[in-house]
Amino acid sequence: MNRPTRWYDYISINIYWFALTTRSQVLTPLVVPLLVQRFVGESLKGTYVGRIRLWSLMVALLIQALMGLLSDRGTARLGRRRPFVLWGAVGEAVVLILIGAVASLEGLVGYWVFFAIIILSMVASNAAHAATQGLIPDLVPLDQCGRFSGFKALLELPVPLVFTSFVVADMVAAGNLWGALFSVIAVILVCAAVTMVVPERPLAVSPGPMDWQPLLRLALMTAIFTSVILGTGAVAGAGMRWAADLSGLAARWTIAAIGVLAMALAILAGVWISVSVGLGQDAAAHRSFTWWVISRLAFLVAANNFAGFMLYFLQERYVELAGERAAGPAARVMMFVGIAIMLTALPSGWLSDRFGKRLLVVLSSLIAAAGTLVILLVPSMAALYAGGSLIGAAMGLFFSASWALGTAIVPEGQAGRFLGLSNLAGAGAGAIGAYIGGPIADANGYVFLFAIYGVMFLLAVPAMAGVREIRGPTPAQRGPRD
């Protein structure tokens, strides 16, 4: 910024994170599961949610990378990032109106129209997302980035989760879908309007020809990773058809074991091949990095899908929460998760420096698995909130410790190249857990699916054995060499 920082800059630079999280917390755990259930019925709802999650996340990954490259080069009079926020907000508002309109359709026709609209939603939201994450690096002085990032964390996690839980979720639970959608539209447009006062300027000179190689490489890795997920999903489907001939409980446990093996295979093969493509000959010399991504992906497969299937889990576990009535409790569980994340994310940095990052990753995996066990074994809402809080606390520890571990093991001067691959792991987590897990839940129930997610938390632990932790300051903290 070409002026001193003012108090309202903390709001204007970070406010759109509130809109992005509100949108995702209304669509992913509430609107998408309910409308898919309405379109396809009970027997295949998990399968069809999984298809939406797979393709929408892969599109989101590519769109965010593309829009990030384009906004880096922005020469519009409004600035580099603000035009993308504005276009994304207007596009998302149109998409949400289309979602309300398509809700009146029926059957597979309704589903596929809804599928296409969700893809458009990912395009719009990730255009704004890519631009928003560039505002702090662009505008904030280095000695103030911590304060601005702390305000970002506040607007990105607990505030929208509380808003969704106590305002929008109650509308969805009451069957007032239009009220919920217009509330989200209002949030998006107001936040975009506030973002427009951010004091940014366009590039003063032309950025020159664009280097498309990073995007093409990401597209190739995305195609390979998607193929791995589709392949393991097909193998899991064949295994489930075979297991269906078994009797009773034997069939259910066999299907659950098939789910664990399929997800584990997708994680290992997807990461190994993607890192090999992304790093080329350097992959063999950086096996610690590969195992770090594997551990991170295993944990996120469970964590990222916890919210996506919570509504269906509640409907199955509690008879009184049929249909839309599960929306309010599902949102409140995620509120407890978000608050617990905030409580543990801040001290986890000190803890990882004091006791080691690998140890904290292992501890967070065990706590998350314990939280899952509480949810599965104790059939009460109080236990659900307690288990969700344990999982949230573990996520707060994991996010900080795992990322700090990753930044410490990447080669000096190549953080962007290496850590960019972790974005593929984040998107792949939602895709693996939903695309493979959805059909398993349709055949076996959501209690068994959540048990599989508990095992995924635990799989992050043995992967840590392949990671060699480097104690001391990270390359970024050490600064340039003499």
The type of residue at 478 is: R
DSSP 8-state secondary structure symbol assigned to residue 211 = -
Q: Is 206 exposed, middle or buried (0-12, 13-18, 19+ CB in 10 A)?
A: exposed
CA proximity to 406, closest of 300, 301, 290, 298: 290
Query: Is residue 441 within 8 Å of residue 449, measured between CB atoms?
Result: yes
Q: Tokens standing for 425?
A: 């792991």
Distance, in Å, from the CA atom of 32 to the CA atom of 188, rounded to the nearest integer, reads 18
CA proximity to 391, closest of 373, 418, 411, 410: 373
Query: Is residue 387 within 8 Å of residue 372, measured between CB atoms?
Result: yes
The CB density around residue 144, as the number of other CB atoms within 10 Å, is 14
Distance, in Å, from the CA atom of 221 to the CA atom of 234, rounded to the nearest integer, reads 20
Q: Tally the C-alpha atoms within 13 A of residue 132's C-alpha that lie toward its C-beta.
A: 32
Distance, in Å, from the CA atom of 198 to the CA atom of 70, rounded to the nearest integer, reads 19
Structural domains of the chain, ranges and CATH numbers in brackets: 1-198+205-210 (1.20.1250.20), 212-472 (1.20.1250.20)
**Alpha carbon 306 to chain centroid distance?**
10
Q: Tell me how far apart the 2 most distant CA atoms of the chain are, in Å.
A: 72
Q: What's the Rg (C-alpha) of the chain?
A: 22
Distance, in Å, from the CA atom of 47 to the CA atom of 42, rounded to the nearest integer, reads 10
Beta strands in 15-67 (DSSP E): none
Q: Is 47 exposed, middle or buried (0-12, 13-18, 19+ CB in 10 A)?
A: buried
DSSP 8-state secondary structure symbol assigned to residue 44 = T
Residue 56 CA: distances (Å) to CA of 31, 59, 160, 169, 176: 15, 5, 22, 23, 25
Over its length of 482 residues, how does the chain's per-residue pLDDT go in tens digits?
677 778 888 899 999 999 999 999 999 999 999 999 999 999 899 999 999 999 999 999 889 888 888 888 877 888 889 999 999 999 999 999 999 999 999 999 999 999 999 999 999 999 999 899 888 888 888 777 767 877 887 888 788 988 998 899 999 989 999 999 999 999 999 999 999 999 887 777 777 777 777 778 878 888 988 999 999 999 999 999 998 888 778 888 899 999 999 999 999 998 888 888 877 777 777 888 899 999 999 999 999 899 899 999 999 999 888 888 999 999 999 899 988 988 887 787 778 777 888 898 999 999 999 999 999 999 899 999 999 999 999 998 888 888 788 878 877 766 666 776 777 777 888 899 999 999 999 999 999 999 999 999 999 999 999 888 765 554 444 443 33
> pTM value?
0.88
DSSP 8-state secondary structure symbol assigned to residue 281 = G
End-to-end CA gap in the chain:
30
DSSP 8-state secondary structure symbol assigned to residue 28 = I
Long-range CB contact pairs, 207-210, < 8 A, 24+ = 207/72, 207/73, 207/75, 210/69, 210/73
